[in-house]
Structure 1
């Protein structure tokens, strides 16, 4: 029984670490954790309502992903991402994602199983739009991630999906809060419906065009979001609930 309790404890700690890491990534993408700023594990732990240990472990995970860097005796600094970095990330994503959605569209035209898997993404596309309209940035980011990676996964290349996942983490959106308040996220969210329709119908040319256009729009959002002011950060609990600081 002692060994079982120990294993359960380790599993619970690992799960909490993953939850904190996910929440921190979302805060980075939303612009709530700002580039160049140093954040301490105890300070973030107080905001998330957890101990400093899972926060420190989660920040180390983010450091391995290049999202933050350790600062001796202070905490972790959010890494800066330049305009050149964003351009290069967008170029890489376009090189991978545009032809891949074309390939998935061609598979859809030939394989009913692929079309069925694509149809299963319609609720996710609807989630993206609903989250944008509800101003739920965490839900928006999570649904957007699931949609894009699941769509690419239908091409059958797991390493490709992992690579795009890493690029998405590094090319985080800046000032997403300001863009949301300006009502600019809804249009980008609605583009997923058109993209999915083209892929389901087997129109590879249209799917590739829409994907290229979508990535271009996302890059424009990054450019505008970098200039948008971000609201003062609020205390956040795991699961996305925030309380006024």
Structure 2
């Protein structure tokens, strides 16, 4: 069964944002953001506002507004009279992003093994399971969305909002160029299960095991996941 995100004609749909009321601009932005990170919208390719608006079943205005928001995040760049191009990230820049994530995320999560409320950690299990389910169903867009929500929710237990927003921006800029390849190798579910393993390490208050899982998990970013 082919990866859903690997097909260029795969339709994108508007997500519900944590069950809350959200504007079309927000929902289109989330859908485009996930598609860019997962590689469904290819680096260097130009996408027109009218074509995407038709695909989403909305007017051009929220699509254009959402794409301008993604320009500010450096995920897109405007192409006069044509649309927006997905920006390309250099290998050196990807290495920089990954190193920053390692410096921030690993010690933060390791510290949670000793400080986080077990109930708060357990509350993340549905998100971790959603990642596993998405991998099992070969739904890469759902995988990316659930993975982002899980990691940011976990980091938010540190109580440092600036840290969470910094990691969010780094994750958005990193992209997961090789996520389809990971699926084709049959290793996406293995990576997904690491989220559940991480929760178990945190619940057993084991900093060493937590560090090991985090280091393994982040190694995918510049290992299997990040190969163009």
Give the shorter-chain TM-score range.
Answer: 0.7 to 0.9
TM-score by length of 2: 0.86
Determine if contact 1:98/1:211 at 8 Å carries over to the other structure: yes
Aligned to 1:42, the other structure's residue is in SS state: helix
Which structure has the highest helix share of the two? 1
1:51 has 2:59 as partner: yes
Q: Secondary structure of the residue that 2:193 maps to in structure 1? A: helix
Q: Distance in 2 between matches of 1:83 and 1:182?
A: 22
Structure 1 length-normalised TM: 0.81
SS in 2 for 1:218: coil
* Conservation of the 8 A alpha-carbon contact between 1:42 and 1:52: yes
Kindly indicate whether residue 156 of structure 2 is the aligned counterpart of residue 153 of structure 1: yes
Instruction: State how many pairs are aligned.
Output: 208
Unmatched tracts of structure 2, length 5 or more: 1-20
The CA deviation at 1:122 is 1.4
Q: Could you report, residue by residue, the CA deviation over 1:77-107 in whole angstroms, capped at 9, with x for unpaired residues?
A: 1110111111111100000000001111110
- The Cα shift of 1:206 comes to 1.9
Q: Distance in 1 between matches of 2:220 and 2:174?
A: 14
- Checking the alignment, whether the CA contact within 8 Å between 2:201 and 2:209 is kept in structure 1 is yes
Matching residue of 2:101: 93
- Unpaired runs of 5+ residues, structure 1, are 1-11, 109-113, 227-245
- 2:172 corresponds to 1:169: yes
Q: 1:140 aligns with which of 143, 166, 169?
A: 143
Query: Is 1:188–1:218's contact at 8 Å kept on the other side of the alignment?
Result: no
